[in-house]
């Protein structure tokens, strides 16, 4: 069975608490369980890792090289300025799908640019927790 990693960046542990009008009221823990169940239904073993620290995310990306077949990444605000995260993704030759629960293109101007998008297979944004499901389906298609 193929194995995927779902990486969640800064403040995503606060989904359900922060900005409920944008992210909803469902808890981060609940969504994480649903993501893992959906991945399993799609034929994947999935691990979820969340960190508020850029270096921890980079270390996890480096470690993914020989363990995972693909990665779903919601880098949070790091999406818009972390060239270190971008470089980590670029050096691992497995598919990454960038995810955002909110439509980053309909929000503040600084959120419109993703520095990680050019090194990801694609970007999915604006569908709440369903963005993760769509990313998992995209990985499944990419791994055929």
Task: Give first-to-last CA distance, the chain, whole Å.
Answer: 13
Tracing tokens 């995927």 back to the chain, one arrives at 4
Contacts with 63 (C-beta within 8 Å, 6 or more apart), sequence order: none
List active site positions. Answer: 23, 100
Contacts with 62 (C-beta within 8 Å, 6 or more apart), sequence order: 88, 91, 92
- What phi and psi, each to the nearest 5 degrees, are found at residue 104? -65, -20
- What phi and psi, each to the nearest 5 degrees, are found at residue 40? -65, -40
């Amino acid at each position: 069975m193929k194995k995927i990693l779902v990486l969640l960046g800064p403040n995503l542990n606060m989904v359900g608490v922060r900005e409920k009008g944008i992210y909803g009221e469902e808890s981060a823990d609940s969504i994480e369980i649903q993501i893992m169940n959906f991945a399993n239904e799609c034929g994947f073993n999935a691990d979820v890792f969340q960190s508020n620290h850029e270096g921890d995310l980079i270390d996890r990306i480096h470690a993914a090289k020989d363990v995972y077949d693909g990665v779903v990444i919601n880098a949070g605000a790091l999406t818009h300025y972390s060239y270190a995260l971008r470089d980590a993704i670029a050096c691992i030759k497995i598919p990454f799908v960038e995810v955002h629960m909110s439509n980053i293109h309909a929000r503040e101007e600084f959120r419109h640019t993703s520095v990680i998008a050019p090194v990801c297979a694609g970007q999915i944004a604006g569908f709440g927790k369903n963005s993760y499901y769509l990313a998992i389906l995209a990985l499944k298609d990419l791994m055929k």
